[in-house]
Structure 1
Amino acid sequence: MSKSCASGILAALAYAGFSADHAYADGPFNFSPFSSSSAASTPQQTASEPAKPPAQPSAAEPTRFRNDTPRTTSAGFDPEALERGVKALREITSSSHAKKVVKFGFFSFSILFESLVAVERLKLEENWGCGFIRICGILLVFEVIKKQEESRQQELTAKAAEFKAMQAQAEAEKQRVVYDEQKKLAQQQAQIKSQMARYEDELARKRMQAENEHQRARNQELVKMQEESAMRQEAARRATEEQIQAQRRQTEREKAEIERETIRVRAWQKQREEPMKPSLQRMLTEEC
């Protein structure tokens, strides 16, 4: 599409350059379309040169008639073809393929084309050759603009690729950071789990140690209570033994006292019976 548009524009420019009536310019011929130095120097050169007499028309040359009412400008350039080209460019830029046209720089060329028409309308003293040279210069400018646009597109593509690479690198960095964070979190969780296990083991050990201490204290208390009970039992046994011994001694004393009293009574009775024994025998004898 862009190649066909470019060929159409070039054809319109060529038609604009060669379809005009070949009228001769009244002013000097200016070559450069971008500077006025050559245009300014030419009148100076003509002014410095001596005036030459007008050349006599040759008899062999045909008589040329001046066109007082030309359909073109005084320079022999017809701007209608350029206007038609501008109209075609405007239709192209307003069509559905405007993006492709803008991509290849034809939109900038349409602006330059309109500027060309304005310049050609203002500079009516220039001939059609100067206008054609201007068109060629503008085409060269357009080619430079096109190259610049292509370079800019390449730079944009490179920047887009660089941005995508940076984005991919950022995504990879993000993934790496997420992986590192997850790894650190897993390590922290494992460390916390290990610390909790050690803490629970320490608590169990302390609880078991406390239970052992409590059991040891209870055992010691039971041993002490048993010792105290044994001591009390021993004291009670000793007290009972002493009481039994005391009662035995008391019984023995009482028994000895009773024996002594018995012996004394027997002795007293014996002493009392000795004087009465003969009389008793006599009484027994008398009774018999």
Structure 2
Amino acid sequence: MPLITERPDDPALRADCANCFALCCVALPFAKSSDFAINKPAGTPCRNLTQDFRCGIHADLRTKGFTGCTVFDCFGAGQKVSQVTFGGEDWRSSKGTARRMAAVFPVMRQLHELLFYVAEARALDAARAVRGDLDTAYAKVDALTRQDAEALLATDVDAVRGEVNALLLRAGDLHRAQAPGRPRNHRGADLFGAKLGRVDLRGASLRGAVLVAADLQGADLRWADLIGADLRDADLRGADLRDTVYLTQAQLDAAKGDLSTRLPSGLRAPGHWTQAAR
């Protein structure tokens, strides 16, 4: 029997840029750093954005200093705001629309991220005992995403996140309990640059852990909980990530790896991994 019955693949929880008015390129701020080549305040269109809401340097984002753009995932919030909340009215229509869209998008993004994680938790075979609660949580959060702009802006996202996170933690712990031995607890740990190559991390809690530039070559991460873990530049070459829980494509896109990295079903090796392997 598989440990994860089926990784969720709901189109509504995947970014659909063709049906979004490039909200991530407008609503969010950029701080000049290794992730962004420029400073850009929230609500201001990126200088690389074209009139048809496309990125003018999409194929060269990494080489031109916009790595941060390549690892961002709105979990489908962009098209929901563009097509549902604002009914297809783009932000160029009026200054009022632009301001409201820029304010609503971060709220919707947080709610869609929660939906994504709840959908995965519902698919965990080990979490059957809490599946009813997860179903209820999913329906509640989904209903919040369908409110109008004013109601969305009034939503207490922190309270919603706190309630849902408690369920996600329970589901994740049930999944981690399948790992042999006594799983490690690195929840929220600062593991910046840590030497964890070939370490047995099966069933480890790495929730919110800082693993920036960590050496995880050949590490066994099966059954580990990786929700919110910062994997920027973490070396995952040869690591085993099968049956990890709450791992996202964006986390993999931010890390280093190669074709020997073993991934969960539904996730793919990023392009810069495969290019480096050639």
Q: Same fold, TM exceeding 0.5?
A: no
Q: Which has the larger radius of gyration?
A: 1
TM-score bin (small chain): under 0.3
Taking structure 1 as the reference length, the TM-score comes to: 0.21
